[in-house]
């Protein structure tokens, strides 16, 4: 444990105990006697009012008038607490609404101004839809940090052997049991949506980000899944045997109708933006003969062309 983190924990320990011995400190933090003495001296240097008790039952005491200093959170802790509070908000009905607002206000009061500003930036980059617990994946925090800081990430998506993709996240949201990342693909110069749990690696690349995305402000969370005027509607018939796999891979712009048609097939419907056509074609092709595009004809044609290209490459 780093010294700064240990001293932070030590402060809280001392304020909670009010009286402690050197042996208790050594056992609590797993440190040597000399380190414990240096840490006590460091606490006194930053103004903690400690005094030593002599005698058999001696030790160190904290003046009764001493009060707990402002709480200091790491960036990861601020993010975790913000997530927890947003989940509380989604669960808070009328009986708990006042309690949630009070907790939120007190939390903002105790964190330093720099972290208070960070929370405000989180609020403009992340949205929660209260439906069911969402699968986050291992890189959700990295994606959100990139969105908040306006930085580019090198990611691998869905397959370890797939090519690395350079993206700039600008919004993160939970919907229908999954977390999604809205990002700009810096290589393809296109906007894309990524399922966060399907991202298998992510690291900051240092590449130059788009300046216009740094100012993105998530004031209306619903805009993340509202189609644009240029969006194209589609419908597909799906064999029941593929339904479970399809449910695990649905995107917010898609709906799977559970009632089968006369042929026993389910209906997949939704919309896509024109720039997402190739992405959708690859997605639908992954279901093979268990899925048939009903409309539009243009999407059927593009899927046929996709299969022909695959045959040519064999």
Share of the chain above pLDDT 70, in %: 70
The phi, psi pair for 235, rounded to 5°, reads -140, 140
* pLDDT, tens digit (0-9, with 9 covering 90-100), for 82-119: 666 666 555 544 444 555 666 667 667 666 677 677 77
pLDDT of residue 154: 95
* Average per-residue pLDDT for the chain: 77
178 Cβ contact list (under 8 Å, min separation 6): 134, 135, 195, 196, 197
**CA distances, 109 to each of 70, 105, 106, 121 (Å):** 9, 6, 5, 17
**CA distances, 92 to each of 99, 103, 170 (Å):** 9, 12, 28
pLDDT of residue 156: 92
Integer Cα distance of 31 and 25 in angstroms: 8
Two tokens at 63? Answer: 């003046």
pLDDT of residue 235: 94
Domains and CATH numbers, the chain: 3-62 (1.10.10.10), 75-223 (no CATH), 227-312 (3.30.70.240)
> Which range among 115-124, 221-230, 237-246, 298-307 shows the weakest confidence by mean pLDDT?
221-230
**Closest to 62 (Cα-Cα) out of 52, 73, 72:** 52
Answer whether residue 285 shows pLDDT above 70.
Answer: yes
* pLDDT, tens digit (0-9, with 9 covering 90-100), for 162-182: 788 999 988 787 766 778 888
pLDDT of residue 282: 82
Answer whether residue 220 shows pLDDT above 50.
Answer: no
Answer whether residue 281 shows pLDDT above 80.
Answer: yes
Mark out the alpha helices in 111-195 (DSSP H runs).
113-123, 140-149
Integer Cα distance of 109 and 31 in angstroms: 33
């Amino acid at each position: 444990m780093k010294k700064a983190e240990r001293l932070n924990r030590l402060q809280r320990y001392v304020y909670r105990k009010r009286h402690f011995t050197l042996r208790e400190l050594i056992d609590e933090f797993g440190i040597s006697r000399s380190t414990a003495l240096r840490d006590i001296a460091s606490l006194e240097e930053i103004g903690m009012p400690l005094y030593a008790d002599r005698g058999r039952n001696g030790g160190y005491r904290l003046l009764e008038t001493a009060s707990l200093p402002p709480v200091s959170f790491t960036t990861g802790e601020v993010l975790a607490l913000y997530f927890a509070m947003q989940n509380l908000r989604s669960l808070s009905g009328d009986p708990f609404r006042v309690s949630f607002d009070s907790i939120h206000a007190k939390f903002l009061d105790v964190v330093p101004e720099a972290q208070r500003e960070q929370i405000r930036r989180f609020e403009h980059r992340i949205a929660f839809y209260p439906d069911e617990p969402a699968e986050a994946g291992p890189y959700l925090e990295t994606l959100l940090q990139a969105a908040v800081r306006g930085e580019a990430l090198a990611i691998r998506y869905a397959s370890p052997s797939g090519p690395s993709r350079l993206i700039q996240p600008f919004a993160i949201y939970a919907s229908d049991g999954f977390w999604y990342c809205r990002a700009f693909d810096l290589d393809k110069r296109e906007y894309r949506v990524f399922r966060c749990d399907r991202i298998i690696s992510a690291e900051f690349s240092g590449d130059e980000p788009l300046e216009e995305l740094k100012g993105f402000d998530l004031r209306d969370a619903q805009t993340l899944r509202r189609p644009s005027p240029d969006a194209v509607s589609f419908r597909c018939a799906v064999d029941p045997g593929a339904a479970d796999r399809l449910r695990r891979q649905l995107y917010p712009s898609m709906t799977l109708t559970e009632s089968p048609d006369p042929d026993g097939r389910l209906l997949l419907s939704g919309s896509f933006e024109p720039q997402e056509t190739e992405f959708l074609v690859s997605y639908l092709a992954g279901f093979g003969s268990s899925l048939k595009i009903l409309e539009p004809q243009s999407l059927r044609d593009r899927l046929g062309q996709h299969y022909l290209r695959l045959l040519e490459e064999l």
